[in-house]
Structure formats: C-alpha cells, structure tokens
Structure 1
C-alpha cells in the first residue's frame, strides 16, 4: 500500500516541460532528442528513489521502458504489451522484459527498512544533485554536438563528474535546411532541464514528508506493541490469580441457613 501511494505521487507530476515550448521549436529534432534523454534520466532517478522490482514481481498495470525508450505495460501475469511502432503485435515475457528494460531491477532508497528518514536524506539529496548534473550534461551535449565531429564526446559540467556520451547528430544545426535558431533551441533545453529539476525537487520533498510520517507511525505502533508486551505479564498475572481465587471460593462449605446448594 505504501509503495503504491508513493508511485501515485510520482505519476501525479509527469514531465511537462514541453507545455511551455514555442510552437516553432515543438518538433525540433534536437529538442526531441534532449527530452528523450531527460525522460530517461527522470525514470532512472525514480528507480533510485522508489526502486524497481523484478518484472515477474511487478503488478498488473505496471509500466516499463525498453532500451529504445518504448513503454510496455504488464497486462497480466508474464505478459507485457506495447503500442510502439513495429511492436504492436509483440508480446514480451517477464524474462524478456527484464533483459530489455532500460534500467535494471534494484531496491530503492525509500525501501530501506529499520532506518530513520533523516538517515536517508543524505543519499536522497545526493541522488537529486546527480540528477541535476545529468540534466545539465544533456544540454551541454547538445551544444558540443554542433562543434565536434567525434562519435563520442566527454562532457564536463561545473561541479559534476565528466561523462562520455554519444554525439547527438540531431543537434548539428548547420547541416539542416533551413537552419533553426541554435540559441533558441539550447535555451529551451536549459528551460526544460530547469523545469524538470524543479518538478523532481518538489516531488522528492513531498515524498520525504510522506515517508517521515509513515516511518514515525510505524515507530509509534512498534513502541505501543513493545509496551503492551512488557505490561502483559505484570498486569494480567494478578487478574488471573484473582479469578482463580474467586473460583476456589465455591469449594468452601456453607454453614448458614441462607445457603442454597
């Protein structure tokens, strides 16, 4: 129930950066590529925070993405379907979905038991910081792809570890006719990254508040259980003894005329 509630929170805030995009840039190939990469990083962050169970343990209605970015839905046990072009009549088993999934199964940070939420805040904050670095690297990759002809590029963002990524050929503006406004595309990429990071920050803040409340409730319930467990013998033993003694009173003979046998 708790895991379902967390995913409801996550799904309630979808990727919405495209809603503020100027119409002229809506279908730009470079933005399409950068947004696809941002969506992949967003899903990876969710697996780090919430975890991703094995495909065989996923509930009916669960959604997974393959390595090509196509979404698959589990319609029943051991059956995954998609509406992606070229795969409409394809069915994946749990094993196939596991091998084709873009992210491997893992236990999420919020699935760690016997820990306080405050103990999970540092790794959660670090995960969010790494997410910001990855978003910034995507826009830097779009910029570098125009200036380099190498098939792979090493992207360095201030305050982040360097990353080596494949060059985005869709972001070579000079090879397209008519050439789009490169500055406008890169600025829109930066805006997308900023909106996505703000969205995930708000989501994580709400999730941490929920998790803290849930774990606190479990601690209170556990404390009461321990309290009543310790109190059971000291409280109930005298009551049992008293009930046993009262039951023994009927064995005392009655010498009064009012006694009714």
Structure 2
C-alpha cells in the first residue's frame, strides 16, 4: 500500500499543479524572464545594488543628515547641541525690539535729565559773568558755552556706549537682551548652538549701526531683512554676517 510519492513536494501533498498565471503556495516565485521587478519591490533572483537603500525607504546603516541643515522646515531647524528648535517668528522679534526700545528709552531719559540739569547749571553760571561791558565777560560766556557743548557731546557718547554694551555684551554672553528674554527668544551660533560670543555679538550689533548713517534707512532695512530670507530661517543680514540664528527657547 503506497502512502504517497516520496519525491512529492511536502508543501503540495496532493500533487496539484498551480493554475497557470497564479502563484503556487509553497513554490518559489520567479520573475518572468526579461521582465524587471516593479519599482520599490525587491526582485526575486535579481541582485540588489550594494550600498543603495530601496527607494522610498529609510537607509538603515547609511549616514543620516547631520545637524545644522541649510534650510528650515516648517519653522523648525536642527542645530548642533540643541537638536530641533523653532525659528523665532518676526512678530516675537519685533515685540522684543519694542521692549528693548522702552528699556533703552528709560535709560536715555534718566541720563538726559541729568545732562540737562548740568547744562542748565552751567548756563545759570553766566549770571556771575556780569555784563558785556565788564572785563572778562566774553571769556566767561565762552567757557560756559564750551561747558554746555561738552556736556551734550558727553551725553551722546554715553548714549552710544549704553546701546553698545546693552546690545553687544548681552547678546555675546547671554544670547538675549531684556526684550528677547521677555518674549522667550535667544540668539545662538548656527553651527554650534552656543552664545554668539564677543566677535559674533559685535558683528551682529555693528551692521545696523552702520545703516544708521544712511538716514536710518539702512538700519531699518537690516531689521526688516529677515523677511527677504527664503531659507525659512528668518536670518537678517546681520545674522548672516555673524553666523547666528534667533530661536525660540
């Protein structure tokens, strides 16, 4: 009594042949001769090209894109040491600039009051010069005028120094001014994720200041230049020169 052909395929115990044109279960599949496999699917019997991952699939074991992309994606960017962070919107940046303007304006107001009081004191001192007929009257008035001019020039220099220290050093060492802290923004180096430092902070500060000498139009264009950046990073001209980015904390 025979229980079956010993040479029979165990996966097809009944010895049935698969219908023509349909896959047979348990039988190895082969691509028709001369017909390449469909795109995106491995071809049985076709050697795979070494070193190239399948199309549309992640490349396991292949080098991935490194941090510090050249273009932001939907307002986010990958920065070394920080990972994926959100690029600061122009609304927040303009809000930070407005707050900084108020802070510096208060400081200017205090210093202006001090300087004006000093100038008025010098002007009142001319009462002791006598009349224009008195000897030395003109010299006394000239000295008082020189004192007033020196006071005003000194106040201008102090204003410039305050702005320099405020914008430059706070960005250099803290990565943010008072306004940026208030709205949750930070300035970082694009290639390291660290604070800009002395050099980066100074470059970022001085470029708008140079624009001030062009009737403030140059400075205005610098502050509006992030609108012209098509990389999605909203980098202004001063940011590009300093290699910095403004991000949300």
TM-score range, shorter chain: under 0.3
The alignment's TM-score, normalised by the length of structure 2, stands at: 0.27
Q: Which has the larger radius of gyration?
A: 2
